[in-house]
């Protein structure tokens, strides 16, 4: 049974969006601790401070994963606003692909990180710190750059659906 498209996101959906955004930016920007842990484990010189810093990165990633599960449940049960009619069809398709990619990465990024950190799966760590991280950055930057296009070019209410009401 399909959920009718609401005019705006719900307050819990908005809250989860912004909390996840902060947590994801935190881990993308402040990844030094986990990188130091990775180097220290290779060198056999792990200290309590290095482990503590790496744990913060890991716990933030786990929080992102937990919020992603909740976010997906809310999206499936409460729906999401339809694309504005003013948005050209090709960009509506690009938006669907980008949002699908973001949701996929909300799961792949923390899971690959946990596989490296807790199970020492090197290929997961390489994917986590390499291609998955790059694609996440590209999608996040594209997501942010779409806001002024929606607001100033197409004159839609896309930004306010996630910020007001």
Q: Dump the DSSP string for 106-163.
A: HHHHHHHHHHHHHH--HHHHHHHHTHHHHHHHHHHHHHHHHHHIIIIIS--SHHHHTT
Residue whose token pair is 């402040």:
30
Q: For residue 2, how many C-alpha atoms fall within 13 Å in the half-sphere facing its CB? A: 4
Distance of CA 146 to the CA centre of its chain: 16
- Segments forming the whole domain that contains residue 56: 11-161
Residue whose token pair is 């996929």:
104
Q: Cα torsion at 52, 56, 58, 60 (round to 10°)?
A: 170
Is 104 part of a structural domain of the chain?
Answer: yes
Is 112 part of a structural domain of the chain?
Answer: yes
Number of domains in the chain: 1
For helices 89-119 and 131-148, angle between their N-to-C axes, nearest 10 degrees: 150
Q: Is the dihedral of CA 98, 151, 72, 128 positive or negative?
A: positive
Q: State the pLDDT at residue 164.
A: 86
Is 40 part of a structural domain of the chain?
Answer: yes
In total, the chain counts a number of residues equal to 165
Q: What is the CA radius of gyration of the chain?
A: 18
Is 2 part of a structural domain of the chain?
Answer: no
Is 4 part of a structural domain of the chain?
Answer: no
pTM here is 0.93
Cα 21 from Cα 29, distance rounded (Å): 12
Cα 66 from Cα 116, distance rounded (Å): 18
Q: State the pLDDT at residue 4.
A: 80
Instruction: For the chain, give the longest Cα–Cα distance.
Output: 58
Is 93 part of a structural domain of the chain?
Answer: yes
Q: For residue 10, how many C-alpha atoms fall within 13 Å in the half-sphere facing its CB? A: 13
Is 89 part of a structural domain of the chain?
Answer: yes
Residue 64 has pLDDT above 90, yes or no: yes
Is 32 part of a structural domain of the chain?
Answer: yes
pLDDT-above-70 percentage for the chain: 98
- Digit-coded pLDDT (tens) for 76-128: 999 999 999 999 999 999 999 999 999 999 999 999 999 999 999 999 999 99
What 3-state class would DSSP assign to 72? helix
């Amino acid at each position: 049974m399909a959920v009718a498209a609401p005019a705006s996101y719900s307050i819990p959906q908005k809250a989860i969006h912004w909390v996840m955004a902060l947590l994801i930016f935190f881990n993308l920007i402040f990844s030094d601790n986990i990188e130091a842990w990775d180097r220290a484990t290779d060198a056999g010189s792990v200290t309590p401070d290095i482990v503590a810093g790496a744990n913060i990165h890991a716990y933030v990633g786990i929080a992102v994963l937990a919020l992603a599960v909740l976010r997906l449940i809310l999206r499936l049960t409460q729906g999401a606003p339809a694309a504005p009619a003013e948005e050209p069809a090709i960009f509506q398709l690009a938006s669907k692909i980008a949002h699908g990619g973001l949701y996929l990465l909300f799961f792949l990024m923390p899971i690959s990180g946990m596989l490296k950190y807790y199970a020492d799966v090197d290929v997961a760590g390489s994917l986590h710190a390499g291609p998955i991280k790059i694609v996440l950055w590209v999608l996040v930057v594209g997501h942010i750059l779409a806001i002024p296009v929606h607001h100033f070019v197409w004159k839609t209410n896309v930004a306010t659906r996630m910020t007001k009401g």
